[in-house]
């Protein structure tokens, strides 16, 4: 309950930064993990780790030698993620707008998967495009970008950089959530 209360409390303080007032359901987490192919990824980036519920699911699913860079802008929620005891996790307090700089700080390989729960619907078009461009340029060949969103706004932001999306809706989540998948073209 501590994580749920913290998420709700931070949502009330910063409603434009937080995508949902309830942590992701295990059903949503499973859809995200499958879409991102986390089980075979070597480097994963999570944007908007919230209370760390999805972070823990990623860590359980990814290989023992993989790395997870989890970026959270909210200091209170970041503190929850920072408490996760797993040597594969890098918990970073910062903004997705600085993605290129952050990945270079840690000397990570190109990510096989970027998973995002940040609310693109509350960003301006330029800001959202900046984040998507960074994701697109950093992804490894055949890398996957997975965004779980209430809104469809991320689709229009991604199309110029990553092309058409695949979409599924997870109804067993509060609220029901769209899970979008893009694969980086190698051509």
Q: Encode pLDDT of 52-96 as tens digits.
A: 999 999 999 999 999 999 999 999 899 999 999 999 999 999 999
Q: Pick from 124, 184, 185, 128: which is nearest to 155 by CA?
A: 128
Q: What was the pLDDT predicted at 1?
A: 43
Stronger pLDDT, 22 or 74, i.e. the higher one: 74
pTM over 0.85: yes
Domain 2-183 of CATH type 3.40.50.720: no
Q: Pick from 184, 144, 143: which is nearest to 32 by CA?
A: 144
Q: Cα separation of 47 and 116, whole Å?
A: 5
Q: Encode pLDDT of 106-154 as tens digits.
A: 999 999 999 999 989 889 999 999 999 999 999 999 999 999 999 999 9
Residue-range domain boundaries for the chain = 2-183
């Amino acid at each position: 309950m501590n994580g749920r209360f913290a998420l709700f409390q931070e949502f009330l303080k910063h409603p434009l930064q937080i995508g949902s007032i309830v942590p992701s359901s295990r059903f949503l987490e499973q859809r995200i993990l499958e879409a991102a192919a986390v089980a075979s990824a070597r480097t994963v980036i999570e944007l908007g780790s919230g209370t760390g519920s999805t972070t823990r699911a990623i860590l359980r699913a990814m290989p023992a030698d993989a790395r997870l860079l989890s970026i959270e802008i909210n200091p209170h929620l970041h503190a929850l993620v920072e408490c996760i005891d797993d040597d594969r996790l890098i918990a970073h307090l910062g903004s997705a707008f600085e993605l290129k700089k952050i990945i270079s700080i840690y000397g990570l390989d190109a990510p096989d998967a970027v998973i995002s729960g940040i609310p693109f619907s509350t960003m301006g078009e330029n800001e959202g495009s900046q984040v998507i461009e960074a994701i697109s340029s950093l992804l490894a060949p055949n890398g996957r970008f997975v965004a779980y969103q209430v809104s469809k706004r991320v689709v229009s932001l991604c199309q110029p950089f990553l092309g058409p999306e695949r979409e599924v809706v997870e109804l067993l989540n509060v609220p029901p959530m769209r899970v979008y998948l893009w694969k980086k073209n190698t051509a």
